[in-house]
Structure 1
Amino acid sequence: MKNGNLSINSENIFPVIKKWLYSDHDIFVRELISNGCDAVTKLKKLSLMGEFDEPDEPYRIDVTTSANDKTITFTDNGIGMTEEEVEKYINQIAFSGAEAFLEQYKDKATEEQIIGHFGLGFYSAFMVADKVTIETKSYKDGEDAVYWECKDGLEYSMKKCIKADRGTTITLYLNEDSYEFANEYRIKEVIDKYCSFMPVEIYYTNADEPQEDPKDATVDVDAKEVSDTADNAEDSKGPDADDTKTEEKKPEAPKPLNTTTPLWAKHPNDCTDEEYKEFYRKVFHDYKEPLFWIHLNMDYPFNLKGILYFPKINTQYDNLEGTIKLYNNQVFVADNIKEVIPEFLMLLKGCIDCPDLPLNVSRSALQNDGFVKKISDYITKKVADKLSGMYKTHREDYEKYWDDINPFIKFGCLKDLKFLDKMKDFCIYKNLDGKYITLPEYLEAGKEKYENKVFYVTDEQAQSQYINMFKAEGMDALIMTQTIDSPFITLLEQKNENVHFYRIDAELSDNFVGEELSEETAKEYKDKLTATFEKALDMKNLNVKVESLKDENTSSILTQPEETRRMQEMMKMYGMAGMDPSMFGQGEGETLILNSNNKLVKYVLDNPDSDNTATICCQLYDLAVLANRPLSAEAMTKFIARSNEILGILTK
């Protein structure tokens, strides 16, 4: 028996390891199973180099819990350790056995990745355990098995022991705060979270349940051949007896908890659409089919594989945040690490496995260096290539997906100028006819009618009057109804010199005006109608404009300068809705445009003091507002009462 104190390379770091090394205490499961995978990977490598003859039994890791004993056991049949190696790799905290192994054999065979990098993972066990034991036997012939025990992570004891099989067994005696991990459902949940795709099969056993001895399992047999007694019984049945074979089912073999070859590890040509969809359902528990996916497969200048899915999202109800799971050699690291995943791609769902990532000791964050930036840029490029390629070769599919994917693309353009440069020519917009066109196509088609002005719609229902006016004059507008469209419009104006966007109700185009009123007549009408409407509406400083519109049925419309409306929206966003936009030099507010060709407007002009004039003025104003935005609650109440009054007059 040998006793001693653990040799710690940094001054008294164990309390730090125990409490703060890992942000989540369940991480110990990942670390100990990762160590088992390393042990198997090392043995496979030795076999490739001819230094070990692989046995017939498959490699595996077994996790066993006992709620009664409050223990968890991790067993692997990997390389194992000698007494000297236990002394070196376990008793000296922060010495990385994986790195030492790779250094020793780096020139002897093609390097196969090892999960562990820091030599601290084993000690995560002490976050949940008061006592930890190790039983290990090296693959080397003639080496004794070793038993190691440590309480509270400070003092250890080590001695020779009897262990028949090669490999390592680690047993954790859980502390009072961690009994939950001895529960079958809890430990399976953690294994599923971190170890679903580890490269060695993982099996689970509940030690508190009776285990069936494989020797007692009955195989399929012919009833005539079971025994001499069975033979005699068969003879006694007589000639009419049924000669049917009886068959007892063989107990179902246990299944591993993980998949050792995740879909992203395969070549894209070897994957079917159904496999991609099934993988998506399994990993993200989303039973709406993804729109499409991008399979990343890169070996140089860094190793990166993964699958990114564009999910189908109901933007009105669904959470727009996606989930990008980051793996290191099939070991789950974290979700949505922004240093690796471009921010705009956080809307997607997917898995990325990059063994070359420079992780810190807890594998929960990344060193923010140039290498990580290259990975991020590569992912951005691959997404842009996929989208642009779809636009060029499968335009119909691209248009079919556009309503779902355009928030991703627009957000990406806003957040990443490189992505904008790649995608600006492949952004499409639905027009008033429901067809998809690009911005250059829109400008080219309307260059004679509106030059470099781009008209757009934010609410097809509320702005239907303006849409009908546009259609009647053969004019077009772009449908831009999503929240992200507002900042995206500003970006487009910045990137397209001399191009300006105007909401469809921002101004009255000359295309809608018929025979222009003389300056004198226009002023006369304006003065009369302004006075009459201000009196009827009890409103001062009403901005009225009189035009001779082609459509006689259009009586009144409301317009507001684009700059003013944008400023008001910005002030509302920042809690300054009550401030006057004119303070910022943004010009006039709303303008009530009255059609001098309309019968109702003519009536008001000719009969300013009539009993019905005030009612007509209020109704014309409210109708103009309704075509632009919802009425306030008070205005709506008055509008309904007034409408009923007008209908009553008509029935007299």
Structure 2
Amino acid sequence: MTADANKETLGFQTEAKQLLHLMIHSLYSSKEIFLRELISNASDAIDKLRFAALSDESLLEGQGDYQVQVDVDKEAKTITISDNGVGMNREEVVEHLGTIAKSGTAAFLESLTGDQQKDSQLIGQFGVGFYSAFIVADRVEVHTRKAGSSADQGVVWESHGESEFSVEPREKVSRGTSITLFLKEDSEEFADDFRVRSVIKKYSDHIAVPVMMLKPTPPPAAEEEESDEDVVDVPEYEAVNEATALWTRSRTEVSDEEYEEFYKHISHDFEAPRSWSHNKVEGKFEYTSLLYIPQKAPFDMWNRDMARGLKLYVQRTFIMDEAEQFLPLYLRFVKGVVDSNDLPLNVSREILQQESSVDAMRSALTKRVLDMLGKLAKKEGDEYGQFWSEFGQVLKEGPAEDFANKEKIARLLRFSSTHTDAEAQDQSLEDYVSRMQEGQEKIFYVVAENFNTAKNSPHLEVFRKKGIEVLLLSDRVDDWLMNHMQDFDGKSFQDVARGALELATDSEEDKAEQEKLQKEAEGLVERMAKVLEDKVAEVRATARLTDSPACLVVGDYDMGAQMKRIMEAAGQAVPESKPILEVNPGHPILEMLDGEQDEDRFADLAGIVFDQANLAEGGQLEDPAAYVAKLNKLLLALAGR
């Protein structure tokens, strides 16, 4: 760090430097979005001051007309965006403009691909819109003063967008922030009044504060040109945008383009939303909501502490970002605005947790989002499939968190299944039930670590033989999900790898055959149970296998293998339990095992059968080296050596 009496030169945080580079090189094809981002930030600063002034009116410094002002200078090749919002002090300038203090920064940077379009979406979701200034400028100067501080507390931040920035004190009479962009040669179009006006109309019509620009100066009349009197021109500004909060307007007055631009404003996303719902509620509680479903999942969606929630307004006054009390956690991807007429203007997060009206609004807004998704699912084409690929795993958290809406959520769930054997999760529970066989009373599913393990699970063999469909579940959340799914449309769920298998479609002949099989295998089962007593809770003969020699089954009340792996990976204690080994006595390997007289060899073979059943489930061997040694010993014996 270098410094003199007034000025400090500091280095950008490493992550900020990387993002600056990406912003400049990934978004140059969408240059004009810098203006949307900077005006959006200015609007947010005004919202924050408006809220702070509710409890401290002195912050307004006697001037309460909020506005954003945009000035262009064609000769100097600059554009300046100013606001009279909350402003910043020196510490905040360094923190907000020189570092990125967001959690998940490393994960965000790792998720960048080098693909301009994909990276631009991620950058937008990360919310670093200020850096977009460097798409068009080779130097940026920020002059700011925090509301309520004295004029000599002004600060200037300056950078060329490379490795360093400088900070120095400079007097500022008015509160708020002014950002001046010294335009690059290939971006001088943004020093043109008409060009800038068109961009503001395109992107910022919906912002609730006026965006002001100088009125175009008409050419002087002839008689005025001949006048010898000195005339002082007072610059006149006019609003370029509508300056009306979009959600307060009637749906019939708002175009799709306006809805889309408003979404980009509140979310800092560069893509249009997938769908939205604009609704005004009148009655016991009065409020307006505008809810959006994004196209893409944010990079930090699996961080349950991620910033989430709706923008909260009370009587059109901004109160807070990320009011998470209005939607449950499994809908944390939803963006939007809720404007209440009933909540107090001094409402806090603590008060929101106690307000009965908030509970009623939360319930209604949750159902509205689920209805939006239901309509999306009924549309032609792959619109819902695209939504599901982005947000399906989060929606699967719903049945455990939202008992009241469990049925609605269940109808939105999508799975892979043996009906298609395709990895795509595109089968609904309604689809499954419509294809159930006559006499079938249960919805069958298998849970595995990945799709291929699920698809090739030995537990599916009898189901394929009988033509019974099985859902293939392989997402990390699936085992937990199914613990909270008891039934659907009157049909209970059955994990095909849990407990004894009974198929309602079995004929009397099938049942008689199974009883005969179990009786004939009693001796083999008893011998295997003895040598494997440290590894299994039980060994039993089964008719569920047609091609495999054995499979592992979870006890009726034991934790599933996938859930165990997740808990172990998280360092949590896992309850002790042993699997059940089910064997197929008619398989040649088991027939060979049954006839084996050498007890040591029998023990080795039984151990190999158990380990292979474990591997088929996607499990990990406790002693891989011992397994390999046994297998090699068997191979050598078969080779006569």
TM-score, length of structure 2 as denominator length: 0.56
Which of 601, 608, 614 aligns to 1:625? It is 614
**What is the aligned partner in structure 2 of residue 383 from structure 1?**
369
Contact 1:516 1:547 in 2 (8 A): no
- Give the superposition deviation at 1:347: 0.7
Contact 1:428 1:437 in 2 (8 A): yes
Contact 2:206 2:243 in 1 (8 A): yes
**What is the aligned partner in structure 1 of residue 335 from structure 2?**
350
CA shift digits 1:571-620 (9 cap, x unpaired): 96998846446xxxxxxx52222222221111111123187544432221
- Give the superposition deviation at 1:346: 5.0
- Give the superposition deviation at 1:390: 3.0
Task: Please list, as runs of the form range in 1=range in 2, the aligned pairs for 1:470-481 lying within 5 A after superposition.
Answer: 470-481=463-474
Contact 1:198 1:330 in 2 (8 A): no
**What is the aligned partner in structure 1 of residue 527 from structure 2?**
531
Quickly say closer, same or farther: Cα 1:605–1:514, change in 2 above 3 A. Answer: farther
**Counterpart check, 1:313 vs 2:301:** no
**Counterpart check, 1:284 vs 2:274:** no
**What is the aligned partner in structure 2 of residue 297 from structure 1?**
279
Which of 578, 583, 588 aligns to 1:599? It is 588
**Counterpart check, 1:563 vs 2:557:** yes
Letter in 1 for 2:373: L
- CA–CA distance in 2 between the matches of 1:649 and 1:265? 82
Which of 514, 517, 540 aligns to 1:545? It is 540
- Give the superposition deviation at 1:200: 3.3
Unaligned runs of 5+ in 1: 1-23, 42-59, 69-125, 132-170, 205-213, 228-251, 582-588
- CA–CA distance in 1 between the matches of 2:548 and 2:555? 20
- CA–CA distance in 2 between the matches of 1:67 and 1:440? 58
Contact 1:429 1:436 in 2 (8 A): yes
Letter in 2 for 1:452: K
Quickly say closer, same or farther: Cα 1:277–1:534, change in 2 above 3 A. Answer: farther
Quickly say closer, same or farther: Cα 1:418–1:504, change in 2 above 3 A. Answer: same
CA shift digits 1:60-95 (9 cap, x unpaired): 975798999xxxxxxxxxxxxxxxxxxxxxxxxxxx
SS of the counterpart of 2:581? strand
Contact 1:199 1:261 in 2 (8 A): yes
Which of 199, 212, 221 aligns to 2:208? It is 199
Task: Please list, as runs of the form range in 1=range in 2, the aligned pairs for 1:53-68 lying within 5 A after superposition.
Answer: 62=84
- CA–CA distance in 2 between the matches of 1:182 and 1:259? 33
- CA–CA distance in 2 between the matches of 1:509 and 1:423? 28
Letter in 1 for 2:457: Q
Unaligned runs of 5+ in 2: 1-44, 67-81, 91-144, 156-167, 180-203, 227-234
- CA–CA distance in 2 between the matches of 1:604 and 1:533? 13
Quickly say closer, same or farther: Cα 1:647–1:323, change in 2 above 3 A. Answer: farther
SS of the counterpart of 1:563? coil
Contact 2:444 2:494 in 1 (8 A): yes
Quickly say closer, same or farther: Cα 1:361–1:642, change in 2 above 3 A. Answer: same
Which of 452, 457, 460 aligns to 1:461? It is 452
Letter in 2 for 1:526: E
- CA–CA distance in 2 between the matches of 1:402 and 1:514? 40
- CA–CA distance in 2 between the matches of 1:645 and 1:220? 100
Q: Which of 1 and 2 has greater Rg?
A: 1
- CA–CA distance in 1 between the matches of 2:169 and 2:476? 45
Letter in 1 for 2:538: N
Contact 2:310 2:336 in 1 (8 A): yes
Quickly say closer, same or farther: Cα 1:518–1:568, change in 2 above 3 A. Answer: closer
SS of the counterpart of 2:364? helix
Contact 2:448 2:562 in 1 (8 A): no
Task: Please list, as runs of the form range in 1=range in 2, the aligned pairs for 1:104-115 lying within 5 A after superposition.
Answer: none
- CA–CA distance in 1 between the matches of 2:172 and 2:542? 79
CA RMSD of aligned residues (A): 5.5
Contact 2:247 2:289 in 1 (8 A): yes
Quickly say closer, same or farther: Cα 1:35–1:631, change in 2 above 3 A. Answer: same
**What is the aligned partner in structure 1 of residue 3 from structure 2?**
none
Task: Please list, as runs of the form range in 1=range in 2, the aligned pairs for 1:411-490 lying within 5 A after superposition.
Answer: 411-420=397-406, 422-432=408-418, 433=420, 434=422, 436-439=426-429, 441-443=431-433, 445-448=435-438, 450-459=440-449, 460-463=451-454, 464-466=456-458, 468-469=460-461, 470-490=463-483
CA shift digits 1:333-369 (9 cap, x unpaired): 2133244x12246512423141514235376664544
- CA–CA distance in 2 between the matches of 1:541 and 1:299? 59
- Give the superposition deviation at 1:326: 1.8
Contact 2:50 2:318 in 1 (8 A): no
CA shift digits 1:382-432 (9 cap, x unpaired): 223322333445475334433434445444454444434555555454422
- Give the superposition deviation at 1:626: 0.9
- CA–CA distance in 2 between the matches of 1:201 and 1:534? 82
- CA–CA distance in 2 between the matches of 1:616 and 1:289? 60
